[in-house]
Structure 1
Amino acid sequence: MKKYIYLMASALLFALTSCDDELNQLPLSQGTIENFYATPGDFVQARNATYSIAFHGAGTYGYANRVLNLSETRSDNLYATTTASRDWEGINSFYTSISSNTYVREAYTSNYNAIYKANQLLEKIAEKGDAIFTTPADKTSMIAEARFLRAFCYFDLIRWFGKVPLIDRTMTAQEASKIGRSPVAKVYELIISDLQLAIPDLSPAYDAANFGRVTKYGAKSLLGLVYMTRSSPTYGIDGAMLGLNEWDKAYKELNDIKASGLFAFSADYDPIFKLEGLLNKENVLTIPYTQNISTPVGGNFMVEVGYEPYFASVNLSAQGALEAKPISTGFMNMFAATDKRKIAGIATSYTVASGTYKGSYTLPVFKKYIDPTRYGNGREDWGVDFMVTRYTDVLMLMAECTLHGGGGTQADVDAIVNQVRTRAGVPANAVNINLDQLFDERRKEFFSEGTRWFDLIRSGKAVTIMNTWRIAEDTGNKIRTIDNNSLLYPIPLQEILAVPGLYEQNPGYD
């Protein structure tokens, strides 16, 4: 997948993507589209380009950067305030004036660019597919992948913004300018329909050359999380949480992944983030990256939680004068000294022998995904894959469903937590684990993987937990008091201004 899909897609993006990254971009000229979709290879390249936008983004940032900036940085894992003016400070400090924030805008525009491409691909398959594709299976699998990518992007959008415009076909700027924000429940109808239609036609697995294309079980992991999010407390806002009792539906989708026998719980923690591709049986849904090639398509997401002195301590060239996003004290205190997750994923002391950053440091920073052996041609070019969902996550999400009455037993929950603790090298003494304890274990297991903000929301205690954290950590009084409206991000200002009166801003934002 790394070379097969993303290298082919990189050149195509310039040909198939409008220069304007706004939602109301004009579609490509009819002549260009018609001339392009003429061979099976053209459709493959269009599919690859859709993957690239959905996963790697339409610019500097991709999905991995997004969840680290909008989920990890906003959570109680990091106290990411600064004396300088940085986009991520407004995220961490819950500013109400972030509707023009770079990270907020990227989440909106990249997802809609990918949705546009998925819609276009589906339409062209319907129009030309029977004549172009040599086998029906090629056609149906491509339709399934396009449906998955559209669902993936819409789910990402409603988790950040709540109500969003529902656009399920290509349209002109004039047409788009009349589409208001749809209720979340309506967007969910498309998400669930797309996933349910896609899953039967997706392959259970791919060979190494196609690693990274979504499988049947990658799509099931997303559908399971969709049902869990719909079932979460609403907080009285128009968010992705609908308070539905669909834990049993989620459990079934996740249990199908377990029952497939294609995945395995890694025996050790650190190799999960070092072993790539098909060899890593924790990979359920993964975004691959490659470095050191003529046209690099490496990632840069690990710098989002990095720190320049730490990079210098492992002999990596300058990453751009990265300021630290310090790990919160309360989070650090959760770990036992021998916890392998802390040892593998957090640098607590490091030394720079010479140069600008010469000295010894004790500021804790995340290092889980920082692998010098996969560093390419600079900060934008790391060959480190990002796991959207790994098998341990599937098991622990199943445990969460069980505690909500969705299936399984308390003994299953305890066994999963003890399995996780045993691998971490800490006492496996879980008995009658409850939801609070499960979320604490998830916090230690999945830090710097972009899950914490969503875990907080599903817990139903996000506002209480974050305000308690703020009081304990925010000695500089830089973080606003969190309220229910803080659980959504603002609609980007550019969208509000594009057609005055079409969209109302989310409550609580300037």
Structure 2
Amino acid sequence: MKNLKFSLYILLCTFIIAIGFSSCSKVLDKAENLSQYPPDGVFNDLAQSNAYLANLYGSSLPNSWPLNDGNSADESGGITGPDAITVNSSRIFWPYDVIRKLNIFINTIPTGTLADANKSNLVAQAKFLRAFLYFKTLVYYGGVPIIKEAQGINDELKVPRNSTAECFTFIEGDLNEAEAALPPKYSGNDRGRIDQATVKAFRGRVLLYKASPQFNSANPYDNQYWAAAYQANSDAKTFLDANGYGLLDNYSNVFTVKGNQECIMSVIGLNPGKVNLRGDDAVRPLSESKNATGGDQPIWALVQAYPMLDGKKITDPTSAYTYNEQSFWLNRDPRFAQTIVYNGAPFALSGKAGRRQYTMKNVASSLDAFGFAIQGESAYRTGFFTSKGLNLALPAPPTTSDYDWNEIRYAEVLFNLAESANETGHSNESQAVLIAIRKRAGILPGSDGLYGLKGGMSRAEMRTAILDEKYVEFAFEGKRYWDLRRHRLFATKLNGIHKYGMMATTVNGRTADQVNPTDISNAAAYTLLPENFGYTVTELITSGPTTMVVPDTYYFFPIPLDYINQNPNLKQNIAWGGTFNPEL
């Protein structure tokens, strides 16, 4: 069975992530569990070594879209309450069990009998995975223990934390070593494996964080690390451009066309072995799905954030288009209609041609109505759904979408370059990135060719423009909360805010209690249009807190007490009663 598709190999070998090599039958015949310490000889067999590594891919990388991550930010409807993060709950990431398995692999493969080229390639992939895990842990807590060997029962297990600087150096070292032994780009049957393109793009992300205000609160935008971040992201873009990557012409296709030119690091979906990575059933309105759905519901703040068709903000009096709250969907950035589903909007789920989504009480299905509690008032509605990344053709309830999750896409590299360029005196490159993003989106260029952007922006204005653009470009892709955290903007953007939706309160001048049979039949025939309704901005209805609580202590999460109790050499972060400084 040679040259199996990367994802098919993993399915046949009962692992999670895709990888394509030969003779997986040998692995299936093994009685031993290869997720544990392997028996002698396993790493002398290429197929078994790849199977072990495949399992580590599945344990190290995200398995799906970051569903409802926007609840913690200003994207979707959840509320972060006063006890969202404590010293023993939420935002816990401590992957040392997987790191131990990676260390086994990294240290044992070189001693085996595989060909040297195979050894170096396998170790390189594993070192990237180790760097990926250490980076996420570092972003959570600051410096953590660096462990390069597989600890045994006779080893000293109570290891202290390394400094944040030491951790960044370790991660960069793993990435440098990985890049040197990997091919420039995997494609075809090998798509999904770590290659040089992945390493370069990810290094840009790592160094952007290293330079960020999160790790440099005393000198957030003039520290020494910004130059390295700019160089890494500039190099990444040059390399990606030379290897066929770039912005895809159609924004929606980025999420629905597998292996397109914007996909740099993808978690591969495969029907039937690994499906519904988007969580289609959890995002669709309940009328077209099952159980507790309606995840990633946009809030009014996100809806307002999309510019007009000429790229101007909805509040900008110089826009060629007049914004009206009662027709908020008209003449907007084309990404709006490709992301936001509003009352009366086309939403052809389950193959229902011409289907429209309604959210008004007594017009919509009661399962979808805003302000009408079916599952208790804690089941909030915002009056919006999202279509981003969904397979609309699937029947209800959807279970078989095999769209990939793109952990890194080309547009992220562009934004990382724009940020680092702006902080190092290359704002012309930042502007070029924003123009490219807006041009691809379908925003009109305007007579000045700036696509609605202000000319001659200051450094601070450009910084804000980049974050504003990324807010809409990456909606529901798990970026917003971490971008605000990285820039230390919780106090100005999240802490103390309330979240709102848009309720359709009238149809053809009639309130919900006055809805007549004609309205109901027109809704069933999908002939009621958004302009047939009247709208009211309404605070979300929940049974819990209504005010977001996101204090500055959340810039670094606490080491859970369970881990400190097991290892007294772990010092707690300063903001959580300890002595460890998680910054650089």
What band does the TM-score fall into relative to the shorter chain? 0.7 to 0.9
Instruction: Tell whether the 8 Å contact from 2:284 to 2:294 is kept in structure 1 after alignment.
Output: yes
Matches within 5 A, 1:265-304: 265-277=247-259, 280-292=260-272, 296-302=273-279
Deviation at 1:481, TM superposition (A): 3.9
> Distance in 1 between the 2:221 and 2:566 partners?
28
Deviation at 1:508, TM superposition (A): 3.9
2:370 counterpart of 1:390: no
Question: Structure 1's 207 and 261: CA in aligned 2 closer, same or farther, altered over 3 A?
Answer: closer
Instruction: Tell whether the 8 Å contact from 1:284 to 1:391 is kept in structure 2 after alignment.
Output: yes
Matched with 1:59 is: none
Matches within 5 A, 1:453-472: 453-467=481-495, 469-470=497-498
CA offset digits 1:28-67 (Å, max 9, x no partner): 3xxx4314333111111111111111125xxxxx3x45x4
> Distance in 2 between the 1:399 and 1:37 partners?
43
Deviation at 1:426, TM superposition (A): 2.7
1:126 pairs, out of 102, 107, 110, with 110
CA offset digits 1:192-249 (Å, max 9, x no partner): 00001111221112232111001101110111111111101146789x9995333333
Structure 2 unaligned residues grouped into runs of 5+: 1-5, 17-26, 309-328, 344-356, 371-381, 445-450, 501-538, 579-584
Instruction: Tell whether the 8 Å contact from 1:490 to 1:506 is kept in structure 2 after alignment.
Output: no
Instruction: Tell whether the 8 Å contact from 1:307 to 1:325 is kept in structure 2 after alignment.
Output: no
1:251 pairs, out of 216, 233, 243, with 233
Matched with 2:456 is: 432
Deviation at 1:374, TM superposition (A): 6.6
> Distance in 1 between the 2:102 and 2:236 partners?
26
Question: Structure 1's 213 and 258: CA in aligned 2 closer, same or farther, altered over 3 A?
Answer: closer
Instruction: Tell whether the 8 Å contact from 1:247 to 1:405 is kept in structure 2 after alignment.
Output: no
Deviation at 1:373, TM superposition (A): 4.4
> Distance in 2 between the 1:474 and 1:45 partners?
47
Structure 1 unaligned residues grouped into runs of 5+: 19-27, 57-61, 82-91
Deviation at 1:176, TM superposition (A): 5.9
2:34 pairs, out of 3, 10, 16, with 16
> Distance in 2 between the 1:160 and 1:445 partners?
24
2:353 counterpart of 1:369: no
2:149 counterpart of 1:169: yes
Instruction: Tell whether the 8 Å contact from 1:289 to 1:298 is kept in structure 2 after alignment.
Output: yes
Question: Structure 1's 195 and 180: CA in aligned 2 closer, same or farther, altered over 3 A?
Answer: same
Q: What is the DSSP-based 3-state SS (H/G/I as helix, E as strand, rest coil) of the residue aligned with 2:159?
A: coil
Aligned-partner residue type, residue 232 of structure 2? A
Matched with 2:54 is: 48
> Distance in 2 between the 1:267 and 1:171 partners?
49
Instruction: Tell whether the 8 Å contact from 1:286 to 1:386 is kept in structure 2 after alignment.
Output: yes
1:72 pairs, out of 57, 70, 73, with 70
Deviation at 1:265, TM superposition (A): 1.2
Instruction: Tell whether the 8 Å contact from 1:80 to 1:324 is kept in structure 2 after alignment.
Output: no
> Distance in 2 between the 1:508 and 1:304 partners?
38
Deviation at 1:509, TM superposition (A): 8.4
Question: Structure 1's 425 and 256: CA in aligned 2 closer, same or farther, altered over 3 A?
Answer: closer
Matched with 1:420 is: 437
Comparing 137-146 with 251-260, greater Cα deviation is found at 251-260
2:83 counterpart of 1:95: yes
> Distance in 1 between the 2:60 and 2:483 partners?
22
> Distance in 1 between the 2:470 and 2:305 partners?
12
Matches within 5 A, 1:315-354: 316=289, 318=290, 320-322=291-293, 324=295, 326-335=297-306, 336=308, 337=329, 338-349=332-343, 350-351=357-358
Deviation at 1:435, TM superposition (A): 0.7
Aligned-partner residue type, residue 342 of structure 2? T
User: Which TM-score applies when normalising by structure 2?
Assistant: 0.69
Q: What is the DSSP-based 3-state SS (H/G/I as helix, E as strand, rest coil) of the residue aligned with 1:432?
A: coil
Instruction: Tell whether the 8 Å contact from 2:496 to 2:549 is kept in structure 1 after alignment.
Output: no
Question: Structure 1's 72 and 203: CA in aligned 2 closer, same or farther, altered over 3 A?
Answer: farther
Instruction: Tell whether the 8 Å contact from 2:369 to 2:383 is kept in structure 1 after alignment.
Output: no
2:160 pairs, out of 180, 194, 218, with 180
**Aligned residue pairs, count:** 457
Question: Structure 1's 174 and 343: CA in aligned 2 closer, same or farther, altered over 3 A?
Answer: farther
> Distance in 2 between the 1:48 and 1:344 partners?
34
Matched with 1:88 is: none
Instruction: Tell whether the 8 Å contact from 2:339 to 2:386 is kept in structure 1 after alignment.
Output: yes
Deviation at 1:328, TM superposition (A): 2.7
Structure with the largest fraction of helix = 1
Question: Structure 1's 503 and 464: CA in aligned 2 closer, same or farther, altered over 3 A?
Answer: same
Deviation at 1:119, TM superposition (A): 1.0
Question: Structure 1's 304 and 405: CA in aligned 2 closer, same or farther, altered over 3 A?
Answer: farther
CA RMSD of aligned residues (A): 3.6
Identity of paired residues, percent? 20
Matched with 2:91 is: 104
Comparing 175-184 with 389-398, greater Cα deviation is found at 175-184
> Distance in 2 between the 1:355 and 1:345 partners?
20
2:145 counterpart of 1:147: no
Deviation at 1:160, TM superposition (A): 1.8
Aligned-partner residue type, residue 488 of structure 1? F
1:442 pairs, out of 449, 470, 473, with 470
> Distance in 2 between the 1:359 and 1:457 partners?
32
> Distance in 2 between the 1:150 and 1:325 partners?
30
Comparing 369-378 with 143-152, greater Cα deviation is found at 369-378
